[in-house]
Amino acid sequence: MSEPLADADAVVVTDTRRWLQRAVIGLNLCPFAKSVDVKEQVHYAVTRSVGFKDLLADLKQELNALLALDNAERDTTLFIAPDALQDFLEFNDFLAQANRLLAKLGLEGVFQIASLHPHYQFSDAPPDAITNCTNRSPYPTLHLLREDSIDRAVKAFPHAEAIFETNMRTMERLGPEGWTALDVGASGGRGKLPP
């Protein structure tokens, strides 16, 4: 995954970067994202693996790469699987295995994994709720975060617990039309709000 990006992978990265800049940063869904984006400390890792075993092997490689680098060089990684995990329930099953891998590698407390998906759905929300879009990315994505970076960000943002509620209100004000207008789905129409 460290070779130059193939054309298809470059599209995936471009789509993901557009989503990060327009939705996550543009709507201020994560007040900590702008600084790492501006400093080019976000690594976009595209995997073309499909099966859980191969995906976990690629994830392990990315976790080790993140561990090996100083956070000034690479603070966070977006692990993107455009060819796999299209079903949200399957994605959640994989997320559970990814967290088990984190524990097996002894990296709990070092890294945290956040989940993002084109069909993300909070357990207490209907599938078409606009609030689900706070965690909707163009492709199935695991966000690999450094725990020490999270700790620093929370100290710098005194009301971090309010981010979730603020994001819900932002999405409700934006509405489905506003979300669609951001054009933050996958190229070719994938990643849009379901009908």
Delimit the domains of the chain by residue range. Answer: 7-182
Instruction: Tell me if 45 sits within 8 A of 1, measured CB to CB.
Output: yes
Are 39 and 87 in contact by the 8 Å Cβ rule? The answer is no
- Per residue of the chain (195 residues), give pLDDT as tens: 444 557 899 999 999 999 999 999 999 999 889 999 999 999 999 999 999 999 999 999 999 999 999 999 999 999 999 999 999 999 999 999 999 999 999 999 999 999 999 999 999 999 999 999 999 999 999 999 999 988 887 787 767 778 899 999 999 999 999 999 999 999 874 434 443
Phi, psi of 114 (to 5 degrees): -105, 150
Q: What's the longest Cα–Cα distance across the chain?
A: 44
Among candidate residues 68, 43, 19, the one with its CA nearest the CA of residue 144: 43
